[in-house]
Amino acid sequence: MQDLSLELNERQREAVLNTEGPCLVVAGAGSGKTRVLTYRIAHLLQKGVEPYKILSLTFTNKAAREMKNRIEELVGPVAKNLWMGTFHSIFARILRIESALIGYDTNFTIYDTDDSKSLLKSVIKDFNLDDKKYNPNSCLARISNCKNNLVTATAYSQNAAHLDEDRSAQRPEFARVYAEYVRRCKSANAMDFDDLLLQTNVLLKNHPDITEKYQQKFQYLLVDEFQDTNLSQYLILRRLANKHRNICVVGDDAQSIYAFRGADIRNILNFERDYKNLRTIKLEQNYRSTQSIIEAANEVIGRNKDQIKKNVWTENPQGELIDLIRATSDAEEGRLVASAIFETKVNKSLDNSDFAVLYRTNAQSRSIEEALRNIGIKYRIFGGLSFYQRKEIKDLAAYWRFSTNPQDVEAFKRIINLPKRGIGQSSIDKLLQAALAANLSLWEVINNVDKVLKLPPAGSKAIKEFGLLMSSFREQIAQKDAYKAAVFIAKNSGLLKELHEDQTVEGRARYDNVQELLNAVKEFCDNPDNQDDSLPAFLQQIALVTTGDDAEEGEDTVTLMTIHSAKGLEFNYVFLVGLEESLFPSSRMVGSRADLEEERRLFYVAITRAKRKLSISYALQRYYFGSLKPCEPSRFISEIDRDLFSTPKMRQNSASTQMTRFAREREQGKVLTAQTTYNVETVEKRENYNSGGRLLKVEEIKPALEVVHLKFGKGRVIEVDESVSGKRAIIDFESVGQKTVMLNFAKLKSVPE
């Protein structure tokens, strides 16, 4: 028989061999948590414990499959009979066996999120409620939260605090919606995902004999990622383990980052309250990262008050110091990160797959994606779609496309009833067929709907209103720059309002993505190198960026993902971007110590994904809601000892004094790379600029005035006008011809006398 303990360190061995009684394994990042779990189960099987007496719970099917395969390699096919899987899959299995006791048939349906939303929409419609106040996404999120905290529809309707909260939120009928949703699920012999946990609790609470049955059956319980459990899951575990008390939970409180999904860090922090004779084993040796990375991670997480104290350490080399990349804008941040990836890859003969870029929100991927594309580095978005492929982005872009080109049938089909305006699929089909039959453009049919088609009055009216709306959009595009037109369309189409009213986590993310798209338009308009700042020109640019550039499956690619998606993964080189106040930590997560500590744990998770090198970046300016706003470096950066940074002096200056040569020159009209060199002509222009003349005020700059620019040299002002971000001037320079410059940044001088 293989001696499994020979492959383990002392603490891991202790966690594997001590199988009797309650055990908490606090597994620091990269400490071999999965190995401990698999070896512990394998050890139980080697001792002669029957596999069906072992219950092992994970959070993903992938983790369960990998663990079971590894155990089978260690002890043979006996592992196939383990009760191993996700919480939901295991409890669904139990509920099918015992379904009659809770009033369900054994063949009950499990509703996914789309099914649940569809049912809620029907309930809201049937109750004649405003679907803006009773947004299906928000209602479903609230119902999910209730179920995970074991608040049934009946209990909810009897709770005065909940009802008062609903009245204040202008949704006084929510309790009735919740109750009807539950009633219709039951009548359809269906459970949603949260019911699988709630109904298991109901089963165990109301049927002591069933509880006894499964307590006797599962003599050993093992739980992975215990810090991510919610109240409902914890109560099931406590009931099942109450007889034999052989429960082993493995997790890391420092990696508890899913409170928004209902995870309760108190489950791991207070575990010993329910198990007084608890054995706590700390896995503190990290096998993944260099000493520099581990030291930084320890310094950060050490500031949290709510934690199980541990000291993660490693025998790995000290490794490279952390790079701190300071950019002047989010666009420059993308370019600098892409450039650093390219240089490191070439200099060290690495693959794209050695690199990962992690960010706090999906919306941040845009500038990174565009920078990587521009220098030809393949990437893949994990845990989400590429920025321009996300539904909300394609929806708004479709409005812009159809407003620009009313012959765009695919754009028309996407937006005609989005948001809903009472135009049914039958009417849409008739419009398209009429255009084909009469050899008319789609736009002509829309504008002459009564002459071309016979539709019900309501349908005809809705199409006419749609036509008028599109006409107003077309006027904006003809008269305004891309940003003004884009914002007008986003607001008046109703898309922005609909997204803003969805206050679920997913809804806020979609709203942020649309705002980031508008930021991209604003950046496009503010770029003086773009001679055409119209919306059609912007659409052409993103079409060229998004067509045919995606990586093929299996290609060597850089990984782009949110930090939440990166949990459990590791990469040789990690770039952590957007380390600015209000972005990371998020402005939504600084209202309480508990929220801020969760953000700090998220930062800890990001740091500990890196094996060989960590780079952190932030921008001094970032586009927010179409305006370039100053940013302050994240407080989390200052929580790392400056000696761990390769450029610690960069952090000693305030944001207001951190304007680099790159920043000044970019604002004056040309995007330069970090490695820009200057020829003799450029040096002469600088000397001319510095040789005399006085700095001109913005209001002094008029047409026909001769001026001197730091980089472009001498020129004559052709035109001065107002833009969204301030005054700009078209100047005819002797060396480079006409350029548009933003006067707030150009620092033009008078010609020396």
Which positions are catalytic? 33-34, 224-225, 255, 609
List Cβ neighbours of 88 (8 Å cut-off, separation of 6 or more): 193, 196, 197
DSSP state for residue 480 in the 8-state scheme:
S
Q: 240: which 2 tokens?
A: 């099942």
Residue 574 three-state SS = strand
> Taking the CB of residue 274, how many other CB atoms lie within 10 A of it?
16
List Cβ neighbours of 726 (8 Å cut-off, separation of 6 or more): 698, 742, 743, 744
Q: What does the alpha-carbon distance between residue 257 and residue 59 come to, in Å, rounded to a whole number? A: 14
Total H helices, total E strands in the chain: 33, 21
Per residue, what are the HEC states of 666-700? HHCCCCCCCCCCCCHHHHHHHHHHHCCCCECCHHH
Look at the chain and count its residues. 753
Residue 381 three-state SS = strand
Comparing CA positions, the residue from 120, 57, 83, 96 lying closest to residue 199 is 96
> Taking the CB of residue 161, how many other CB atoms lie within 10 A of it?
7
Comparing CA positions, the residue from 370, 381, 299 lying closest to residue 330 is 370
Q: Measured between alpha carbons, how far is residue 159 from residues 155, 170, 454 in Å?
A: 6, 17, 53
Locus of tokens 């991670």: 297
424 neighbors 414 (Cβ within 8 angstroms): no
Task: Report the relative pairing of strands 571-576 and 627-630 from DSSP bridges.
Answer: unpaired
> What is the four-CA torsion angle of 682, 683, 684, 690, rounded to 10 degrees?
110
Does residue 585 have a cis peptide bond before it, meaning omega lies within 30 degrees of 0? Answer: yes
Q: 193-206 vs 231-240: helix axis angle to the nearest 10?
A: 40
Q: Counting Cβ atoms within 10 Å, is residue 349 exposed (0-12), middle (13-18) or buried (19+)? A: exposed
415 neighbors 409 (Cβ within 8 angstroms): no
Q: What does the alpha-carbon distance between residue 83 and residue 51 come to, in Å, rounded to a whole number? A: 7
Residue 612 three-state SS = strand
DSSP state for residue 640 in the 8-state scheme:
S
> Taking the CB of residue 506, how many other CB atoms lie within 10 A of it?
11
470 neighbors 478 (Cβ within 8 angstroms): no
- Could you give the count of Cα atoms lying within 13 Å of 259 in the half-sphere of its Cβ? 17
Sign of CA dihedral 90, 94, 97, 102: negative
Q: Measured between alpha carbons, how far is residue 243 from residues 15, 25, 294, 329 in Å?
A: 21, 21, 40, 59
595 neighbors 589 (Cβ within 8 angstroms): yes
Task: Name beta bridge partners: 110.
Answer: 191
Return left, alpha or beta for 196; rule: phi > 0 is left, psi -120 to 50 is alpha, else beta. alpha
> Taking the CB of residue 400, how many other CB atoms lie within 10 A of it?
26
Residue 191 three-state SS = strand
Residue 582 three-state SS = strand
Q: What does the alpha-carbon distance between residue 313 and residue 522 come to, in Å, rounded to a whole number? A: 46
